[in-house]
Structure 1
Amino acid sequence: MSLSNKCNSVTFSCTLEGMTAPGTPLGSPESSAPDTPALDQALAHERQYHDLCRAALAEMVEGAQEHVITGEHVAASGADAEVLGYQLRSRAKEMRELPDAPLFFGRLDFATEAPEAGGHRGQRYHVGRLRITEHPSAPPLVVDWRAPVSRAFYQAGARDPQGVAVRRRFGWAPGSAGDSADLTGLEDEHLIAGDVPGGVAEPEATAAPRSRILTGEIERPRVGPMRDIAATIQPEQDDLVRAALAESVCVQGAPGTGKTAVGLHRAAYLLYTHPQRIRRSGLLILGPNRTFLRYIAEVLPALGETGVRQSTVRDEIARQPVRAVDGPAAAVVKHDARMAEVLRRALYARVRPGDAESLAVPDGSYRWRVPAGDLDRIVADVRAEEPPYETGRERVRTRAVRHIQEQAERRAGPVSNTWLQKVSRARPVSAFVDAVWPKARPEEVLAELLGDGDVLASAADGVLGEAEQRAIGWDRPPRSYKSAKWSDADLVLLDELAGLIERPAGYGHIVVDEAQDLSPMECRAIARRADFGSLTVLGDLAQGTTPWAARDWPALLGHLGKPDTPVTPLTTGFRVPQAIVTLANRLLDGLGVDVPPARSLRGDGELAVRRVRDVAAATVDAVRGALAHEGSVGVIAADAAVPGVRAALVAAGVEAAGPDELGARVTVVPASVAKGLEYDHVVAVEPADIVAAEERGAHRLYVVVTRAVSRLDVVCGRAVPWAEAAWAA
């Protein structure tokens, strides 16, 4: 007898509504005390099934290790054996490193008479973070959330059941390591009318997640690193996650809409769907800073994917250590897209077609000669083809040698490859190539450009104004490029030059988070690595805080080399409550960006604006008040104020960690690194200081106030005219 025929509910045909102790939150240990035998029986059955899955997973892990041992004795060529061994060892390592967690979070029961169910009619599937089976050829005990059949778990609804009769969600105790006893609740949602008592399917959810388990998981207090959202993906998020590999995706996501999670789950989906292609060419996750990368680092391993490179743009292009700091004017010019043309001119100014002299190459007692005019034409033709600089050098060499080869074959017939290699390496040929198309190092070219006013004026003529040239030129050039001190912005220019000289290896897919803060030149660095791959671009124009932050998406996507990428807005917030979203929408009016206002599916949340004389004391009081609630506390202040804030908390006996110490109860965070992070309770310290600290301080304040997912305290010692209306409303 099915559980759905034993109970009724307004929202679900069978839920924990009326089956748990009154007021007991779903997913908590207390919810394991059922009020009906039917629920007790269902939970017992699912716990037994989870034990079966756990045993099967243990066998899979042991089997993966056995395959490594067996594979060492497989007869194969040296190269094949090495590849096979690497694959088997990698698989075994991935299986051993799987985090302890519940093995499934949902179940799909397909109707027996629904044609749209196809080959799944009458079948039942448990959905989890990875596929679990007792034997490779046996039906899975758990299907991977990325499998095609699992899509119905996220997309099916009463209007389009997709053949699903019942969708079941499981409630697990917070922080569960996968003990079956931690399965504390379940809900069944009946999607096909014939399977619902009374014959009427429930209406489609339009305003909020109606599952208490789903809502509880979304709103669960968050301490420590970011979690995956495989159990809570919403239909519009699922569409983005499952976009084809060849498609680039751009997400304009309001705070709390899950754009970062969408990008990470899309990466996991592509690795699952195209394992060989992606692993061969690589997948790269780019975040704004290392603190953010540490925050998201556990998401992909939790989904069964390891070995994915997670980096920052700066780390990807770091050819040299940073030992200099640019002034604001110089940094803005160096990040401008016009610098690409200046650098191209500076590099190719080294090519000198008219400098060629006639070439004479000794060959025994004979000398092969190439007239200067022919050599000039070779150089000019190659230059007109605009190949990468190093490729151009080799083309010049190859064509000069071909000219000699043609003479030799007319005189004595075909020549050997050995002869061609000898002529190609001949000293006169190398001297000719070096004279007309000299070798170039990025550091050497840039040092000459920034250190020589005449060279800069020539390369920047008609591109940069005189004031802009003065801003980026070095007052005291180093003796050579080897002793130059490079700035952050110089790294971007060096990467541009390196890309002009020789194309870098690309990735099959790149996920770019907080993309709105990228400069045009940083975008070009990413585009070079995605020439033959696709991008997932994530960001929020309202959160752009760099001087060169994007004002619109089309321009930025053009710099990324994907100008035709559609922009998908995510405006429904699942984590940030309505009180804070309403405040953020009021602040939007002063940011000068065209983004749609957000809405929240959470009607809760607390917002308090404290106008005080003693900011330090009020901050301590706010933190103590926050500690009375469950969850993490982020104290966010202007960068310069962070030491004082932390000292005040320590003096008051409140232990406060830095932003890199994940899992701390109270964290003091510089405003400049808060982007992308989340805290249950945020104390925003002195907004006036945050706004005044940088050119786009208003955008930075918008970022700060949207880091809270439950409660926000704003501690104001001074007025912020631009935001006063928002505080007062």
Structure 2
Amino acid sequence: MPAHAPVPDVSAGSALTTGSAVTTGSGASAPARPGGGDPLGRERAHLAASRSALRAMREDVQSLDIKDVTANWVNAAVLQAQIEQRIEALADLAHTPLFFGRLDYLPTTQEGRRPAPEAHERTLYIGRRHVHDAQGDPMVIDWRAPVSQPFYRASRKDPQDVGLRRRFGYTGGDLTAYEDEHLTDPSEAEQTSKLLQAEIERPRVGPMRDIVATIQPEQDEIVRSGLSGTVCVQGGPGTGKTAVGLHRVAYLLYAHRERLARTGTLVIGPNRSFLHYIEQVLPALGELEVKQSTVDDLVAQVDVRGEDCAAAAVVKGDARMAEVLRRAVRAHVTMPTEPVVVVRGSRRWRVPAYELEEIVRELLDRDIRYGAGREALPQRIAHTVLVRMEQAGEAPDDRVQDSVARNTAVKAAVKAIWPPVDPAKLVLRLLSDAEFLAAHADGILTSEEQSTILFGKPPRSAKSAKWSLADAVLIDEAADLVQRTQSLGHVVLDEAQDLSPMQYRAVGRRCSTGSATVLGDLAQGTTPWATGSWAEALSHLGKPDAAVEELTAGFRVPREVIAYASRLLPHMSPGLAAVSSVRETPGSLSVRAVREVADLDADVVAACTQALEKEGSIGLIAADSRVPALAAALTGAGLPHLSPGEETTAESRLTLVPASLAKGLEYDHVVLEEPATIVASEPDLRTGLRRLYVALTRAVSGLTVLHAKALPPELG
């Protein structure tokens, strides 16, 4: 039996369809067009044939003999690795359906008149990967192919030559249902898709699922947007923004595979637990090479063993620190006061100090990386010496210039003028030496801000320093000032609203010559440095011209729950549109007052026990300070429970979640304890309300709120 587990805050599916025929189980169904007889049986037969064809495709690759194909062992190893990757990509995953939809196209008539709805010219099956038969004819079309786009975009107003769109439902890997929509039949009434509703409400089992079968038109536009442009997606809880970002990666790898194979792709999440939950989405779509990371892992050049207070973290994360670091790095350059004398044989070649200064100032004016300038300086000095040689009648070549650049006198001059800089030691000096910091933060940071970020007790060395996460970002910035950070082809940045300006800069360096997909919700920003606007964030990222798209249709959180949580929006994020959920689930919200504070633990245990009688995962969310007491109460009641990130099992489906770690997770049923305490645990009211908003929107099927204190007045 598969384990039940919370998965990230993403929509399990997102579409509204109309159904004229739904068949389930053994195949009994209402009449469906086109054809008659046993449509479900025919679809099952096509599924079986497609699986057989996929196995044949895999066997063809496995049978390849490359023994005498390549010229050397290096090429052979590379080719073998590519073959093994192809074999893995062609694996038939038992619980991942090969196709999820079908398009029946209308024939084209010479008269231009619409044919009868029953007439169909060709049929295409849309799935997660391409499958062809022995003759090379397609049996399943990859969802990313241009010909598959009408499955997501066609409508009654614009059918795009599609007469029938069929959606399939699966139980495990077995095809058990289908649902038809006749786009050109005016007599067919529009209805909500029952298959979609069932998919969304299916209990949270295992890691995050893809939404490839239920992508909505507005989501599809984002998914298929071009590689050259950066896209920022603002989306409230349950709008599917994370899934949209992952599916965009899969689409870009399909459309620009050769380019991205060279430059690379990266998915950045808020924490490793989140990345663990989403790690199966891209492999299920046939993409195996996309790397994942957190921002903290990206900048991990030192061991992080310390923690900043909120005030220090805010200053260190401020974009102004970039200029402080730039000044500090460039301050290592010293103008020459002595000439350089190069001895070659019996000749001495002299470069006076004023010429050296001209070279140094020219390099500084070009504003190139510090390391690049240090590498260019000896070559520029050597070039000046070569000019002297040519003027004296000699004919030196490039080998002579390289030799002069390695001359002892030149190397000594470079070390004195443009010494090497260690990024960690530079940041250590800035945060330890008040005079050094004041010299380079003058006019940028106030004296109070400078005092805030200084070490209380200066460390003896960079290795012994108790670096914080914000310090690691500063070191990464300094490292980029010395040597350019390698850029990737595309980066997906999720939960971006919680990044500091300096963290945005760290991510932006990783896609300076590529593009990005930025995902987040301003209403869920809970850090002291949370993003105020996407325009500001994108500017720090280095992508000020990025398109900002907003997703407002929710599919995961029930309408009653999201409406209750949205009461907080005017008080924490005024002007931000509330999510409009398509799911109306009566009874999904319960708010109960407990008479005595002493009874709260017992009522929470009772609510969890009641939730465990239902199917699916249960999350008990409370203020961080309440977690030890609740853990003891659950243990005393004999209720096993887990911590966030641990895999749930059939025997242990309850997770005790500190409110600070709830972001990005979702559970079938949520028990939320004492909203007022969650709000009061944060340093200010707005951050507290945002933390509560996140906690309230983790439920997929039902939310129970228990409180002994008065509810925050912002809840109404």
The equivalent residue for 1:709 is 700
Q: Secondary structure at the match of 2:519?
A: strand
1:269 corresponds, among 226, 230, 251, to 251
Q: Secondary structure at the match of 2:318?
A: coil
Answering whether residue 305 of structure 2 is matched by residue 299 of structure 1, we say: no
Cα offset, 1:565, TM superposition: 1.4
Paired with 1:661 and 1:97, the residues of 2 have a C-alpha distance of: 28
Answering whether residue 248 of structure 2 is matched by residue 260 of structure 1, we say: no
Work out whether residues 114 and 121 of structure 1, in 8 Å CA contact, stay in contact via their aligned partners in 2. Answer: no
Paired with 1:201 and 1:160, the residues of 2 have a C-alpha distance of: 16
Q: Which has the higher mean CA deviation after the structures are superposed, 648-657 or 270-279?
A: 648-657
Say if 1:456 and 1:39 are closer, same or farther in 2 by CA, change over 3 A.
Answer: farther
State the aligned residue count: 682
Answering whether residue 318 of structure 2 is matched by residue 318 of structure 1, we say: no
Paired with 1:649 and 1:35, the residues of 2 have a C-alpha distance of: 49
Work out whether residues 505 and 541 of structure 2, in 8 Å CA contact, stay in contact via their aligned partners in 1. Answer: yes
Q: Which runs of 5+ in 1 are unaligned?
A: 1-10, 20-25
Which runs of structure 2 are paired with 1:63-78 in the superposition (5 Å)?
63-67=60-64, 70-76=65-71
Answering whether residue 665 of structure 2 is matched by residue 681 of structure 1, we say: no
Which runs of structure 2 are paired with 1:641-652 in the superposition (5 Å)?
641-652=626-637
Cα offset, 1:694, TM superposition: 2.0
Cα offset, 1:584, TM superposition: 1.7
The equivalent residue for 1:123 is 122
Cα offset, 1:34, TM superposition: 4.5
Q: Which runs of 5+ in 2 are unaligned?
A: 1-16, 114-118
1:210 corresponds, among 187, 192, 201, to 192
Cα offset, 1:64, TM superposition: 2.2
Work out whether residues 103 and 129 of structure 1, in 8 Å CA contact, stay in contact via their aligned partners in 2. Answer: yes
1:666 corresponds, among 616, 635, 654, to 654
Which runs of structure 2 are paired with 1:412-561 in the superposition (5 Å)?
412-561=393-542
Answering whether residue 72 of structure 2 is matched by residue 91 of structure 1, we say: no
Which runs of structure 2 are paired with 1:215-230 in the superposition (5 Å)?
215-230=197-212
Paired with 2:644 and 2:166, the residues of 1 have a C-alpha distance of: 38
Which runs of structure 2 are paired with 1:568-717 in the superposition (5 Å)?
568-605=549-586, 606-612=588-594, 613=596, 614-664=599-649, 665-695=653-683, 696-717=687-708
The equivalent residue for 1:139 is 137
Paired with 2:477 and 2:467, the residues of 1 have a C-alpha distance of: 14
The equivalent residue for 1:168 is 166
The equivalent residue for 1:241 is 223
Paired with 2:714 and 2:415, the residues of 1 have a C-alpha distance of: 62
Which runs of structure 2 are paired with 1:320-339 in the superposition (5 Å)?
320-339=302-321
Report which structure shows greater RCO (CA 8 Å, sep ≥6).
2
The equivalent residue for 1:60 is 57
Q: Which has the higher mean CA deviation after the structures are superposed, 638-647 or 431-440?
A: 638-647
Paired with 1:723 and 1:656, the residues of 2 have a C-alpha distance of: 32
Paired with 2:303 and 2:120, the residues of 1 have a C-alpha distance of: 60
The equivalent residue for 1:23 is none
Q: Deviations over 1:600-652 (max 9, x none)?
A: 11111511112212221111111112122222111112223223223322221
Paired with 1:395 and 1:316, the residues of 2 have a C-alpha distance of: 29
Cα offset, 1:370, TM superposition: 0.4
Paired with 2:306 and 2:679, the residues of 1 have a C-alpha distance of: 26
Work out whether residues 508 and 532 of structure 1, in 8 Å CA contact, stay in contact via their aligned partners in 2. Answer: yes
Work out whether residues 456 and 469 of structure 1, in 8 Å CA contact, stay in contact via their aligned partners in 2. Answer: yes
Paired with 2:224 and 2:187, the residues of 1 have a C-alpha distance of: 28
Work out whether residues 676 and 712 of structure 2, in 8 Å CA contact, stay in contact via their aligned partners in 1. Answer: no
Say if 1:556 and 1:418 are closer, same or farther in 2 by CA, change over 3 A.
Answer: same
Paired with 1:114 and 1:147, the residues of 2 have a C-alpha distance of: 26
Paired with 2:337 and 2:94, the residues of 1 have a C-alpha distance of: 65
Q: Secondary structure at the match of 1:589?
A: helix
Say if 1:356 and 1:72 are closer, same or farther in 2 by CA, change over 3 A.
Answer: farther
Q: TM-score, normalised by structure 1?
A: 0.90
Cα offset, 1:661, TM superposition: 1.9
What is the identity, as a one-letter code, of the residue corresponding to 1:420? Q
Q: Deviations over 1:494-536 (max 9, x none)?
A: 0110111111111111111111111000000011111111111
Work out whether residues 555 and 582 of structure 2, in 8 Å CA contact, stay in contact via their aligned partners in 1. Answer: yes
Cα offset, 1:218, TM superposition: 2.4
What is the identity, as a one-letter code, of the residue corresponding to 1:669? V
Paired with 1:42 and 1:329, the residues of 2 have a C-alpha distance of: 65
Paired with 1:268 and 1:71, the residues of 2 have a C-alpha distance of: 29
Work out whether residues 132 and 142 of structure 1, in 8 Å CA contact, stay in contact via their aligned partners in 2. Answer: yes
The equivalent residue for 2:98 is 103
Answering whether residue 370 of structure 2 is matched by residue 389 of structure 1, we say: yes
Q: Deviations over 1:303-324 (max 9, x none)?
A: 1111211111000111011111
Which runs of structure 2 are paired with 1:342-421 in the superposition (5 Å)?
342-353=324-335, 355-421=336-402
Q: Which has the higher mean CA deviation after the structures are superposed, 356-365 or 544-553?
A: 356-365
Cα offset, 1:241, TM superposition: 0.4
Q: Secondary structure at the match of 2:267?
A: strand
Cα offset, 1:556, TM superposition: 0.7
Q: Which has the higher mean CA deviation after the structures are superposed, 626-635 or 36-45?
A: 36-45
Paired with 2:463 and 2:175, the residues of 1 have a C-alpha distance of: 62
What is the identity, as a one-letter code, of the residue corresponding to 2:53? A
Say if 1:583 and 1:419 are closer, same or farther in 2 by CA, change over 3 A.
Answer: same
Paired with 2:188 and 2:416, the residues of 1 have a C-alpha distance of: 79
Work out whether residues 284 and 308 of structure 1, in 8 Å CA contact, stay in contact via their aligned partners in 2. Answer: yes
Q: Deviations over 1:450-488 (max 9, x none)?
A: 111110000110111111110111232122333322111
Q: Which has the higher mean CA deviation after the structures are superposed, 376-385 or 631-640?
A: 631-640
Q: TM-score, normalised by structure 2?
A: 0.91
Work out whether residues 679 and 709 of structure 1, in 8 Å CA contact, stay in contact via their aligned partners in 2. Answer: yes
Say if 1:514 and 1:478 are closer, same or farther in 2 by CA, change over 3 A.
Answer: same
What is the identity, as a one-letter code, of the residue corresponding to 2:205? V
Work out whether residues 656 and 668 of structure 1, in 8 Å CA contact, stay in contact via their aligned partners in 2. Answer: yes
Cα offset, 1:668, TM superposition: 1.4
What is the identity, as a one-letter code, of the residue corresponding to 2:121? G
Work out whether residues 359 and 371 of structure 1, in 8 Å CA contact, stay in contact via their aligned partners in 2. Answer: yes
